[in-house]
A = this chain, B = another copy of it.
Amino acid sequence: MAKIEHVSPLAPKEGFPDLPVIDGVRFAALEAGVRYSGRTDVMLAELCEGSAIAGVFTRSSTRSAAVLDCQDKITQDLPGKAAILVNSGNSNAFTGKSGFDSVAKITQAVADELEIDVNRVFTASTGVIGEPIKWERITAKVPDLKSALTPDAMEMAARAIMTTDTFPKGSTRTIDLDGTTIKIAGFAKGSGMIAPDMATMLSYIFTDAAISRDVLQQCLWLDNAKTFNCVTVDGDTSTSDTVLVAATGKADMAPITDFADPRVRPFRDALHAVMKDLAIQIARDGEGATKLIEVQVTGANADGPAHRVAMAIANSPLVKTAVAGEDPNWGRVVMAVGKSGERAERDRLTIWFGDILVAENGWVAPSYTEEAGAAYMKNDEIVIRVDLGLDNGTATVWSCDLTHGYIAINADYRS
């Protein structure tokens, strides 16, 4: 197992944020010994009756049993209590029929203990792949988890789902909707990994807003496309990626049941801010990361092509190593635009590093100096901006540099 000795230099300076209590949700986290010892590795969230739960999941064709189970349940929109159980240490992915059996055992144990319809119990697992999960270690802890449930344990929950994340990731926003204060708070785990494992992105977000599942799901879909789906560490896709948003409806407000409701816009803005904050924290904790990279693409034919150009840049090993080496290597940005497969015209490209104009009209900008570029690259947070000069499509994505640390985490250690 890769030993994490240092917190990412890009971790938020202020540490884990103070997350508010979300009325209607309680959390617990315990040591179940799924694989790790000496740390918490299972968390339970209990949601009050009437909670609306929306979810987005990995598009991997080899997704895990837990993901398939969640996808089956998420659209049912049942009225009762609900629960989310997540373990770290074992991803229960590619474990054949036993994988499905394990999910059934765990969800049933939670359903029985908390007296919840099993179709309202959602799970996720992250950790080693291809090994049967010791589900009985998890089910044995469900009574203790129930006893430990408390409204103010979101940070504990965030810590229990970490694999080799170097810091727990939390975020919150509070908004006023027609005089009612609405709280949104959530946490995520990202792209640390343990050999033989893979990065899994999990995030759980809670709000006391009263909002129907359909509207919540639509908000999640739209905002996920611009937040979690815009983060890449190495272009690899987990079999277990899961984002759930749960709305308890405990706030004193008339429920939002229509996407055209004028309160949706401010709610979405706040949800988007939480999701974006968590997504960027995942990039900040990318394996071996020493620099955060934000890629902004404008002037594309449409937003889709802009996203694909931005991801081509953000995933390029040559761009990522150049950033690691503090090398203002704009030629590699040109290369990545060219390989994206999207329409681009060399002579219409404009490239900036931060506010520094680097290249335009098919060549290096007359005002550009290597000294200015090199000085900029010493920052911890690098913005690469590309205008394609074609139309109004835009996208912003986040990544991190590719360093010896990535190789050390993924190649130097054996399971």
- Chain A: residues with CB nearer than 8 A to chain B? 58-63, 93-99, 128-130, 193, 195-199, 234-239, 315-318, 321-322, 324-327, 329-332, 334-347, 349, 359, 361-364, 374, 401-404, 406-408, 410-415
Residue of B62, B331, B402, B414 touching A327 (CB-CB under 8 A): B414
Residue of A59, A62, A325, A339 with highest tally of chain B CB at under 10 A: A62
Give the distance in Å from the alpha carbon of A93 to the alpha carbon of B403 in the complex: 27
Q: In the bound complex, do residue B331 and residue A198 qualify as a contact, i.e. CB atoms below 8 Å apart?
A: yes
Q: In the bound complex, do residue A330 and residue B412 qualify as a contact, i.e. CB atoms below 8 Å apart?
A: no
Q: In the bound complex, do residue B331 and residue A196 qualify as a contact, i.e. CB atoms below 8 Å apart?
A: yes
Chain B residue with Cβ nearest A309:
B61
Give the distance in Å from the alpha carbon of A329 to the alpha carbon of B337 in the complex: 32
Q: In the bound complex, do residue A363 and residue B98 qualify as a contact, i.e. CB atoms below 8 Å apart?
A: yes
Give the distance in Å from the alpha carbon of A404 to the alpha carbon of B406 in the complex: 9
Q: In the bound complex, do residue B236 and residue A317 qualify as a contact, i.e. CB atoms below 8 Å apart?
A: yes
Q: In the bound complex, do residue B60 and residue A338 qualify as a contact, i.e. CB atoms below 8 Å apart?
A: yes
Give the distance in Å from the alpha carbon of A361 to the alpha carbon of B99 in the complex: 12
Chain B residue with Cβ nearest A349:
B62
Give A195 Cβ to nearest chain B Cβ, in Å: 6
Q: In the bound complex, do residue B331 and residue A63 qualify as a contact, i.e. CB atoms below 8 Å apart?
A: no
Chain B residue with Cβ nearest A196:
B329
Give the distance in Å from the alpha carbon of A325 to the alpha carbon of B193 in the complex: 15
Chain B residue with Cβ nearest A195:
B327
Chain B residue with Cβ nearest A407:
B404
Chain B residue with Cβ nearest A131:
B364
* Interface CB pairs A-B, < 8 A, 25: A59-B341, A60-B338, A61-B337, A61-B338, A61-B340, A61-B344, A93-B331, A95-B363, A96-B347, A96-B361, A96-B363, A99-B362, A130-B359, A130-B364, A196-B329, A199-B318, A235-B235, A235-B316, A236-B339, A321-B411, A325-B412, A325-B413, A327-B414, A374-B414, A402-B407
Give the distance in Å from the alpha carbon of A403 to the alpha carbon of B199 in the complex: 19
Contacts of A196 in B (CB 8 A): 322, 327, 329, 331-332
Q: In the bound complex, do residue B407 and residue A335 qualify as a contact, i.e. CB atoms below 8 Å apart?
A: no
Contacts of A326 in B (CB 8 A): 414
Given contacts A325-B195, A344-B61, contact A330 B130 (CB under 8 A): yes
Q: State the main secondary structure of chain A at its contact with B.
A: loop
Give the distance in Å from the alpha carbon of A128 to the alpha carbon of B370 in the complex: 14
Residue of B62, B332, B340 touching A338 (CB-CB under 8 A): B62
Give A283 Cβ to nearest chain B Cβ, in Å: 15
Give A106 Cβ to nearest chain B Cβ, in Å: 18
Contacts of A93 in B (CB 8 A): 331, 334
Give the distance in Å from the alpha carbon of A336 to the alpha carbon of B60 in the complex: 9
Contacts of A318 in B (CB 8 A): 193, 198-199, 234, 236, 410
Give the distance in Å from the alpha carbon of A404 to the alpha carbon of B408 in the complex: 8
Q: In the bound complex, do residue B331 and residue A129 qualify as a contact, i.e. CB atoms below 8 Å apart?
A: yes
Q: In the bound complex, do residue A410 and residue B345 qualify as a contact, i.e. CB atoms below 8 Å apart?
A: no
Give A175 Cβ to nearest chain B Cβ, in Å: 36
Residue of A332, A337, A404, A411 with highest tally of chain B CB at under 10 A: A411
Contacts of A343 in B (CB 8 A): 61
Give the distance in Å from the alpha carbon of A299 to the alpha carbon of B248 in the complex: 47
Q: In the bound complex, do residue A325 and residue B61 qualify as a contact, i.e. CB atoms below 8 Å apart?
A: no
Q: In the bound complex, do residue B335 and residue A198 qualify as a contact, i.e. CB atoms below 8 Å apart?
A: yes
Contacts of A341 in B (CB 8 A): 59
Give the distance in Å from the alpha carbon of A196 to the alpha carbon of B321 in the complex: 11
Chain B residue with Cβ nearest A368:
B130
Q: In the bound complex, do residue B130 and residue A317 qualify as a contact, i.e. CB atoms below 8 Å apart?
A: no
Chain B residue with Cβ nearest A100:
B362
Q: In the bound complex, do residue B334 and residue A239 qualify as a contact, i.e. CB atoms below 8 Å apart?
A: yes
